[in-house]
């Protein structure tokens, strides 16, 4: 990379990744020690620079001359790997700083991961390196690998080395890092750099993404994360970098975060891991479910071009796997491409008459490597095809490597991705795993389909215009703040909640907030029958359950009786009735839910989904973080599973989708401008075919001190 004809500008992490001289501080002569192992890795992986072990008790180590202190090293040192006991780390770091060392890797554990005392030591370390302008990885990490042939640095104690490749990989967990190097070795995945970042006292995942942003060798950034240090900065960096290269994340704790105690639907659902998924998706980051899937996707991203759409062509020599592939693609939302007549005719011209030339193209078991090449070429050349999955079930005596090579020959000249599902032996996989000029291979159609789906999603993200701004609605925020200010900590009155919505341009069903029977009857007269009656009580959260909602009351008589009954049933449920809400009776339309909740890390979260009784049963909702632009809001609304219902099925009228998108954006603005809103549920919002027929029927807003 340090090509003298194209010198690249130095980057802040260069002393760590590309040092000329490395000191290993706390080097032990015991062969079973981690420090000996690390020096061994530096030596046997042929580090291109000089190694200086530091140990006051030894004169030589692993046939290298040993120095008693860092200061005693006669030459300049770029990088120091610190492996001394915890209480000596601070002193050693200071010694390194004094020596002029520019990069540090602190392997030693016992810092913030162990509690308060460790956290204080870690804080001091950070202050020291930041003051000195030195960059530090760790503490509590496993080290760094750089496979660049000019450097070949393996400053880890991993028993497995890394192979040169196109993936920059960072792991928050050290132990998992070792396991990942093993897996990478097994499946033949190569890396540009490997970083175990430990406690991230100084260098964070964000810094590493920025390091790889303009590194031409790193085609894919892959991360194993347990937490987001600074989600706001991550958003900013990830949104920028994913326009240039993909970022893949495996975030652990998918379910462990668990449900938070929250009374609103939005809050309860948001407590689960969907928050993180929504957040990553909005940043253009691909989330893999497992390490295996991460490598499956990374391999493809490093080798194939991005598809221009979601339409898949399938070419196979066996029917069964093609059906599996079709199912997997359709389930993920990919489309099975419709091949043109011309493509079919071409296929027909050389395939046996028993072959099927629709999509999937089934060439039948007799297919030769040449058949594969010609069929894949024909399908790739069809303008209705965005990418191709080739399936090969090894027939007796045929060599799958020949098949793969003939496919590679035709895919190289065509700018569409081709993935191969090779149902072949492990010998085959061993033979092809390091051949980077072959299409990526998968054992089964399902993982290949999943990879195609993520490629298509990422490509769609890249096609989006950058720098989209959130819209700005004219709203009376002073008035809203005043209403929200009426309650210090807790729920707003129904009337106040509706007023906030109205001030934010959200249509609300006609309502009157009144106190006694006479006022109820008067309000109903003004609104017009039939009406809906609801009891108001400050501690009443789920009104229907307490008999506090009566719909479709057609005249004074029914309404008067309902007031009396409601007084009784609400009191029986243990609530003191403070008054009533009379509403127009709304009919038709689809019940949806809008919600706001606040996450301590991500700030305000917006939610949309099927509302009313559907919320409890299906939890068919999507989340988004703020700021939210129109494109993202549309993704949220269109992204729920039941979106087809909102489009109208079986002659039923659909909902005004543009209005739903607009309301989501208005609520996003509300959440950002009024951080005192802790939770908001509009459930149900009745969505009709146009603006005039859409209205909120129920709203709850909880306010309190802002958490972020």
Question: Which residues of the chain form contacts with Mg ion (CB under 5 A)?
Answer: 683, 698
Q: 216 vs 574, which CB is nearer to ligand ADP? A: 574
- Verify binding: residue 698, ligand ADP, rule CB under 6 A: yes
Which distant-in-sequence residues (6+ apart) come within 8 Å of 611 by Cβ? Answer: 591, 592, 593, 683, 684, 685
**How far apart, in Å, are the Cα atoms of 34 and each of 93, 122, 157, 221, 666?**
19, 21, 6, 28, 56
Question: Least distance in Å: CB of 581 to Mg ion?
Answer: 12
Least distance to Mg ion, CB of residue 502, Å = 18
Q: Length of the chain, please? A: 708
Distance between CA atoms of residues 574 and 700, nearest Å: 20
For residues 117 and 110, give the distance between their C-alpha atoms in angstroms, rounded to a whole number: 9
User: Where in 216-245 is the site for ligand ADP (CB under 6 A)?
Assistant: none
Q: Of 276 and 699, which CB lies nearer to ligand ADP in the complex structure?
A: 699
The strand ranges marked E within 345-486 are 361-362, 387-393, 418-423, 441-442
Site string for ligand ADP, 597-636 (x = CB under 6 A): ---------------x------------------------
- Give 218 or 583: the residue with its C-beta nearer to ligand ADP: 583
Q: Give the sheet arrangement for strand 549-553, strand by strand.
A: 511-514, 579-584, 531-536, 549-553
Does 501 bind ligand ADP (CB under 6 A)? Our answer is no
| Interface with ligand ADP (CB under 6 A), residue from 208, 337, 347, 697 | 697
Residue number with CB closer to ligand ADP (190 or 612):
612
Comparing CB distances to ligand ADP, the nearer of 172 and 494 is 494
Least distance from C-beta 560 to Mg ion, angstroms? 24
CB of 258 to ligand ADP, least distance (A): 25
At 225, which helix (H) or strand (E)? strand 220-225
Interface of this chain with ligand ADP, residues 526 to 585, rule: CB under 6 A: 532, 534, 542-544, 549, 551, 583, 585
Of ligand ADP, Mg ion, none, which one sits near residue 542, judging by CB under 5 to 8 A according to partner kind?
ligand ADP
* CB closer to Mg ion out of 334 and 592: 592
Query: At a CB cut-off of 8 Å and minimum separation 6, what does 250 contact?
Result: 222, 223, 224, 225, 287, 288, 289, 290, 291, 293, 294
Residue from 598, 595, 534, 528 nearest 556 by CA: 528
Give me the least distance between CB of 643 and ligand ADP, in Å please.
Answer: 20
Question: From the list 238, 586, 655, 687, which residue makes contact with ligand ADP (rule: CB under 6 A)?
Answer: 586
> What's the rounded Cα separation, in Å, for the pair 465 and 473?
22
Comparison of 550 and 678: residue with beta carbon closer to ligand ADP: 550
Q: Please identify, using beta-carbon distances, which residue of 82 and 548 lies nearer to ligand ADP.
A: 548
Nearest C-alpha neighbor of 500 from the set 677, 687, 258, 265: 677
Which partner from the list Mg ion, ligand ADP, none does 589 bind, CB cut-off 5 to 8 Å by kind?
none
Q: Using CB atoms within 10 Å of the CB of residue 335, give its burial: 0 to 12 exposed, 13 to 18 middle, 19+ buried.
A: middle
Residue closer to Mg ion, measured from CB, 281 or 681: 681
The least distance separating ligand ADP from the CB of residue 494, rounded to whole angstroms, comes to 9
Least spacing, CB of residue 121 vs ligand ADP, in Å: 51
| 666 touches 606 (CB < 8 A) | no
- Our CB check for Mg ion shows the closer of 300 and 546 to be 546
Contacts of ligand ADP in 244-303 (CB under 6 A): none
Dist. CA 110–CA 85, nearest whole Å: 9
Dist. CA 502–CA 479, nearest whole Å: 11
**Contacts with ligand ADP in 508-527 (CB under 6 A)?**
509
Q: Which is nearer to ligand ADP, 279 or 511 (CB)?
A: 511
Position 684 contacts ligand ADP (CB under 6 A): yes
- The token pair that represents 62 in the structure block: 């692993």
Residue nearest to Mg ion (CB): 698
Q: Which of 102, 126, 87, 91 is nearest to 23 (CA)?
A: 102
Task: For residue 66, state whether it binds ligand ADP (rule: CB under 6 A).
Answer: no
Contact between 389 and 314 under an 8 Å Cβ cutoff? The reply is: yes
Q: Which does 586 bind (CB under 5 to 8 A by kind): Mg ion, ligand ADP, none?
A: ligand ADP
Q: Work out what residue 544 binds among ligand ADP, Mg ion, none; the CB cut-off runs from 5 to 8 Å by kind.
A: ligand ADP
Total residues in contact with ligand ADP, by rule CB under 6 A:
16
Q: Which has the closest alpha carbon to 475: 331, 177, 275, 674?
A: 674
Q: Tokens 């601070």 map to which residue?
A: 90
Query: Would you state the structure tokens that stand for residue 228, as one six-digit string?
Result: 């987001």
Task: Reduce the DSSP state of residue 397 to 3 states and report it.
Answer: coil
Q: How does strand 21-25 pair with strand 50-54?
A: parallel
Q: Least Å distance between CB 587 and ligand ADP?
A: 7
Nearest distance from residue 608's CB to ligand ADP, in Å? Answer: 16
Closest approach, Cβ 686 to ligand ADP, in A, equals: 7
509 binds, among ligand ADP, Mg ion, none (CB under 5 to 8 A by kind): ligand ADP
What gap in Å lies between CA 249 and CA 235, rounded to an integer? 13
Least distance (Å) between residue 549 CB and Mg ion: 8
Q: How far is the CB of 562 from Mg ion (least distance, A)?
A: 18
Indicate the residue among 280 and 509 with the shorter CB distance to ligand ADP. 509
Name which of 309 and 507 has its Cβ closer to ligand ADP.
507
CB closer to ligand ADP out of 400 and 684: 684
**Of ligand ADP, Mg ion, none, which one does residue 220 interact with (CB within 5 to 8 Å by kind)?**
none
For residue 683, the minimal CB distance to Mg ion (Å) is: 4
Beta bridge partners of 392: 422
CB of 486 to ligand ADP, least distance (A): 21
Q: What is the DSSP string of 548-588?
A: -EEEEE-SHHHHHHHHHHHHHHHHHTT----EEEEEE---S
Helices (H) and strands (E) in the chain, counts: 24, 31
583 binds, among ligand ADP, Mg ion, none (CB under 5 to 8 A by kind): ligand ADP
Residues lying near ligand ADP in the complex (CB under 6 A) are found at 509, 532, 534, 542-544, 549, 551, 583, 585-586, 591, 612, 684, 697-698
């Amino acid at each position: 990379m340090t090509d003298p004809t194209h010198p690249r500008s130095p980057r802040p992490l260069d002393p760590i990744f590309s040092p000329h001289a490395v000191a290993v501080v706390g080097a032990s002569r015991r062969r079973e020690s981690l420090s000996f192992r690390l020096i061994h890795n530096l030596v046997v992986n042929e580090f291109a620079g000089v190694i200086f072990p530091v140990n006051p008790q030894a004169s030589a180590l692993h046939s290298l001359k040993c120095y008693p202190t860092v200061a005693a090293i006669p030459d300049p040192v770029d990088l120091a790997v610190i492996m001394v006991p915890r209480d000596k780390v601070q002193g050693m770091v200071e010694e390194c700083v004094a020596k002029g060392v520019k990069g540090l890797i602190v392997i030693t554990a016992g810092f913030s991961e162990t509690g308060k005392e460790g956290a204080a030591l870690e804080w001091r370390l950070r202050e020291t390196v930041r003051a000195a302008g030195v960059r530090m990885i760790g503490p509590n990490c496993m080290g760094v690998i750089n496979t660049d042939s000019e450097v070949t640095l393996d400053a880890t104690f991993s028993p497995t080395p890394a192979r040169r490749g196109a993936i920059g990989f960072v792991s928050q967990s050290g132990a998992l890092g070792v396991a990942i190097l093993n897996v990478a070795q097994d499946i033949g995945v190569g890396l540009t750099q490997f970083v175990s970042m430990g406690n991230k006292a100084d260098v964070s995942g964000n810094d590493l993404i920025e390091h790889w942003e303009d590194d031409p060798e790193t085609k894919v950034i892959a991360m194993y994360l347990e937490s987001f240090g600074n989600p706001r900065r991550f958003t900013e960096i990830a949104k920028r970098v994913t326009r240039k290269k993909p970022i893949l994340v495996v975030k652990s704790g998918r379910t462990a975060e668990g449900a938070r105690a929250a009374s609103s639907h939005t809050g309860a659902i948001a407590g689960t891991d969907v928050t993180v998924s929504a957040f990553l998706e909005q940043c253009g980051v691909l989330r893999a479910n497992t390490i295996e899937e991460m490598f499956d996707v990374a391999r493809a991203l490093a080798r194939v071009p991005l598809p221009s759409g979601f339409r898949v062509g399938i070419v196979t020599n066996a029917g069964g796997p093609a059906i599996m592939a079709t199912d997997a693609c359709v389930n993920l939302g990919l489309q099975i491409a419709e091949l043109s007549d011309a493509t079919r005719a071409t296929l027909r011209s050389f395939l046996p008459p028993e072959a099927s030339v629709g999509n999937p193209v089934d060439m039948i078991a007799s297919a030769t490597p040449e058949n594969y090449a010609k069929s894949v070429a024909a399908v790739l050349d069809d303008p209705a095809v965005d990418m191709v999955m080739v399936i090969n079930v090894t027939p007796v005596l045929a060599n799958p490597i020949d098949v793969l090579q003939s496919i590679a020959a035709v895919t190289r000249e065509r700018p569409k991705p081709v993935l191969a599902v090779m149902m072949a032996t492990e010998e085959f996989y061993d033979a092809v795993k390091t051949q980077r000029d072959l299409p990526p291979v998968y054992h089964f159609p399902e993982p290949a389909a999943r990879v195609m789906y993520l490629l298509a999603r990422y490509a769609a993200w890249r096609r989006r215009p950058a720098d989209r701004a959130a819209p700005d609605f004219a709203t009376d925020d002073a008035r809203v703040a005043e209403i929200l200010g009426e309650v210090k900590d807790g729920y707003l009155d129904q009337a106040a909640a509706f007023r906030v919505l109205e001030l934010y341009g959200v249509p609300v069903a006609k309502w009157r907030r009144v106190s006694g029977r006479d006022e109820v009857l008067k309000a109903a007269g003004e609104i017009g029958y039939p009406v809906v009656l609801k009891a108001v009580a400050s501690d009443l959260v789920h009104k229907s359950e307490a008999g506090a909602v009566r719909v479709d009351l057609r005249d004074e008589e029914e309404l008067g009786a309902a007031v009396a009954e409601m007084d009784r049933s609400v009191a029986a449920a243990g609530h003191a009735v403070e008054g009533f809400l009379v509403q127009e009776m709304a009919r038709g339309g689809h019940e949806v839910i809008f919600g706001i909740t606040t996450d301590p890390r991500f700030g305000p979260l917006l939610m949309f989904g099927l509302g009313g009784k559907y919320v409890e049963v299906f939890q068919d909702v999507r989340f988004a973080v703020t700021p939210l632009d129109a494109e993202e809001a549309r993704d949220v609304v269109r992204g729920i599973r039941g979106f087809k219902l909102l489009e109208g099925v079986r002659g039923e009228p659909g909902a005004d989708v543009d209005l739903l998108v607009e309301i989501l954006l208005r609520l996003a603005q509300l959440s950002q401008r009024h951080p005192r809103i802790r939770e908001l549920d509009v459930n149900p919002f009745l969505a009709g075919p146009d603006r005039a027929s859409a209205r909120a029927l129920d709203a709850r807003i909880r306010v309190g001190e802002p958490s972020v």
